[in-house]
Amino acid sequence: MEKVYKSMNMSGAAAIAIGVVMMVVGLSAGILSVVMGANLLRRKDDITF
């Protein structure tokens, strides 16, 4: 029973760690996309096709 408890504890800790990393990556990607979109809107008059 102790072996099962330890493996569940490790998998729970790993899931929390992966979730935190994914939240940080998602937040970074969202901030970068907002900044890049703002830059495009600010310089839209300079773009010629």
Residue type, 8: M
Residue 12 token pair = 């729970």
Task: For 2-49, write each residue's pLDDT tens digit.
Answer: 888 888 888 999 999 999 999 999 999 999 999 999 999 999 888 777
User: The whole model's pTM is what?
Assistant: 0.69
In a domain, 46, yes or no: no
Q: Is residue 30 part of a domain?
A: yes
Tokens matching residue 48: 């010629």
| 22 inside domain | yes
15: domain range? 2-36
* HSE-CB for 12 with a 13 A CA cutoff: 6
Number of other CB atoms surrounding residue 45 within 10 Å: 6
pLDDT given at position 46: 82
- Domain assignment present for 13: yes
> What is residue 1's predicted lDDT score, i.e. its pLDDT?
75
Tell me if 49 is assigned to some domain.
Answer: no
**Domain contains 43:** no
Structural domain total, the chain: 1
